[in-house]
A and B are shown apart, each in its own frame.
Chain A
Amino acid sequence: MSTALPGETLLAVENVSLRFGGVRAISDVSFDVVKGEIRAIIGPNGAGKTSMLNCINGFYHPQEGAITFKGVKRPKVKPHEAAVGGIARTFQNVALFKGMTTLDNIMVGRTLKMHRSFFWHLFRNGPAMTEEIEHRRKVEQIIDFLEIEHIRKTPVGKLPYGLQKRVELGRALAMEPDLLLLDEPMAGMNLEEKEDMCRFILDVNNTYGTTIALIEHDMGVVMDLSDRVVVLEYGRKIADGTPDAVKKDQTVIDAYLGVAH
């Protein structure tokens, strides 16, 4: 595990607030993600964690506050622009392309890296085919890394949940992102699958140096994996620090266990 070095800030969230009509989903939250670290976002249900990720990759637009990515303050960024900028993510409820095979799903992740024009694709020959094969090779590396060779040509809709989550991780990895957002990567998994997933996350972080921000409910996983943790409750930030510090924080304990009034 990489240790929390005070390195270069990759992503800075400053005073972000998000409302839906009268409902405040996020109020005045600030935190940062340093290059190369694993950053966890935790909090009880409805704390605004997923909304936070949605703001980061441009799916929601906060009414107030600023998000700075790679040193550039972003105005209203569109989801695909965030992807071009190097942000990839997985989803709480698996959002795979159900009718496509594992291979095709991960190949979609390579879309941004492929540039051959429509004209060449008409013939599936020449430059277009060369490019397809080159990216197929990259995708095979990811498939190999995630140990999903046997389901390469299976439509993902037919896969069990744990494998679907793994394919989804593969699809995000295929984008070669600078920042990888994982929304509950271990939800609904059994112990063994969780251990596998932890291993993959750590390997991604170590081998490719990918910065990771993840939401997770399994406290054991969070405390083991992450370098720093930010805790949200009712859309507010209530704690931020190393896993050990957060674990001892009284407000965090109150939020999770409830307070005696």
Chain B
Amino acid sequence: MFYREAGQYKTTYAADMAVFPIRQDRIGIALILLIAFVGIPLTANEFVINSIMVPFLVFALAAIGLNILTGYTGLISLGTGAFMGVGAYACYKLTTIFPDLNIIVCILLSGFFAAAIGALFGLPSLRIKGFYLAVATLAAQFFLQWCFVRVPWLYNYNASGAIEVPQREVLGVIVTGARAAPEVKYLVLLSIVVLLTWIASNIIHGRFGRMWMAVRDMDIAAELMGIRMLPTKLLAFAVSSYYCGVAGACMMFLWYGGGEASDAFNINQSFNVLFMVIIGGLGSLVGSFFGAAFISGLPTLLKFGLPAIGIPIGGAFAEHLTHIFVGGLIIFFLIVEPHGLARLWQIAKQKLRTWPFPY
């Protein structure tokens, strides 16, 4: 009843090409942003922000990154964790070398280092396709992971071998470090995620997004339309790695607050993000958010939700249960809806348009 586009005429191409052509969608987005920026910091407690919202946003960013590469350009990558790590270490080095540089600028800049490394490891993608490429990205994963441990310069020769997040202020407010308020960290992270999502949506709806999708759907035809493979694929690798890199930097500086990075950026992290993209929906930005919410929220839900409703469950068993759930759900989604949660969302919206009539 309330979700109708009847009477909304589009009289210009610009209006028709808008990302949200339907008025109700625009209102919905505005509402969500309002809740995220105002509602949650005002009402939520530290647990909700630190254990649910922050991980969700970090993973959403990483999932957008991988989705650009795998969902939009059709190149499988198992190196996401390592590219996130490059961002984290680059950010660490930046804050060390330029202590006065605004930390948010540092985080955004660190993505460029990940982009460069990503493009470098994307070079073989010109000659290698499909599963073969997946193995090539494994080379990136394990090599970079090795670097994180074996190149002490990266972690400033700390005895612990870990990133130590320094305290940094922006406009007099402490943003990173142990004394930063969770709300502040959350708001900074949220702003970064919103900005980068908007940019990703812009790229994807324009010429470059179409070039990527053309390469994904039929690379030979794309080449015969004048799309050059190498620059297009490398651009996808670079943009994707930029997002992963920023996600990694955010993870270390706004979530973990430092720690043993070789664990945070290992192969399992790569798989984790890949599952988010699959379950959320390959080739869908909103799907990246769904997938991230699902996979990052599920363990928390099982760990704290089940005991809350009276089912006692050990921490280790919750973890095993998560594995079973995630594995089962991946298979379930691939069978029932290979396009993931994003497609279910679309179907729901379609139903809503005609509701309460079946057609």
Interchain CA distance A82-B225 in the complex, whole Å: 9
A98 part of interface (Cβ distance < 8 Å): yes
Chain A: minimal CB distance from B136 (Å): 23
Which of chain A's residues have a CB closer than 8 A to the CB of B203?
118, 121-122
Which of chain B's residues have a CB closer than 8 A to the CB of A97?
213-214, 216-218, 221-222
Interchain CA distance A155-B214 in the complex, whole Å: 13
Interchain CA distance A111-B41 in the complex, whole Å: 44
Chain A: minimal CB distance from B348 (Å): 18
Known: A118-B235, A175-B226. A111 touches B210 (CB 8 A): yes
Known: A99-B216, A118-B235, A121-B208. A133 touches B13 (CB 8 A): yes
Known: A121-B203, A136-B17. A108 touches B210 (CB 8 A): yes
* Residues of A89-136 contacting chain B, CB below 8 A: 89, 91, 95-100, 104, 107-109, 111-112, 114, 116, 118, 121-125, 128-129, 132-133, 136
B199 part of interface (Cβ distance < 8 Å): yes
Contact of B224 among A79, A116, A125 (CB under 8 A): A79
Known: A97-B213, A129-B14. A84 touches B206 (CB 8 A): no
Known: A112-B226, A175-B226. A121 touches B206 (CB 8 A): yes
Pair A133/B207 contact, Cβ less than 8 Å? no
B268 part of interface (Cβ distance < 8 Å): no
Residues of chain A at interface, number, CB under 8 A: 40
* Residues of A63-99 contacting chain B, CB below 8 A: 78-80, 82-84, 88-89, 91, 95-99
Chain B: minimal CB distance from A104 (Å): 6
Known: A95-B218, A97-B214, A108-B225. A123 touches B202 (CB 8 A): yes
Main SS at interface, chain B: helix
Which of chain A's residues have a CB closer than 8 A to the CB of B224?
57, 59, 79-80, 82-83, 88-89
Q: How large is the interface on B (under 10, 10 to 19, 20 to 34, 35 or more residues)?
A: 20 to 34
A171 part of interface (Cβ distance < 8 Å): yes
Pair B211/A111 contact, Cβ less than 8 Å? yes
Of residues B199, B206, B283, which shows the largest number of chain A Cβ atoms within 10 Å of its Cβ?
B206
Contact of A80 among B14, B199, B205, B227 (CB under 8 A): B227
Which of chain A's residues have a CB closer than 8 A to the CB of B202?
121-125
B5 part of interface (Cβ distance < 8 Å): no
* Residues of B6-28 contacting chain A, CB below 8 A: 12-14, 17, 19
Pair B213/A100 contact, Cβ less than 8 Å? yes
* Residues of A111-165 contacting chain B, CB below 8 A: 111-112, 114, 116, 118, 121-125, 128-129, 132-133, 136-137, 140
Chain A: minimal CB distance from B16 (Å): 8
B129 part of interface (Cβ distance < 8 Å): no
Which of chain A's residues have a CB closer than 8 A to the CB of B337?
none
Which of chain A's residues have a CB closer than 8 A to the CB of B235?
118
Pair B217/A111 contact, Cβ less than 8 Å? no
Of residues B202, B203, B207, B218, which shows the largest number of chain A Cβ atoms within 10 Å of its Cβ?
B207
Known: A118-B208, A129-B14. A111 touches B221 (CB 8 A): no
Known: A116-B207, A121-B206, A136-B17. A104 touches B220 (CB 8 A): no
Pair B225/A99 contact, Cβ less than 8 Å? no
Which of chain B's residues have a CB closer than 8 A to the CB of A82?
224
Chain B: minimal CB distance from A132 (Å): 6
Interchain CA distance A88-B213 in the complex, whole Å: 19
A-B contact pairs, 9 of them (CB 8 A): A79-B220, A96-B217, A99-B283, A114-B207, A116-B207, A122-B203, A124-B201, A128-B207, A133-B17
Given contacts A116-B207, A122-B202, 10 further A-B contacts (CB under 8 A): A59-B220, A79-B220, A80-B226, A80-B227, A97-B217, A100-B213, A108-B214, A121-B202, A124-B205, A128-B206
For the complex of A and B, the 3 pairs showing the least CB-CB separation, nearest first, are A83-B226, A124-B202, A97-B217
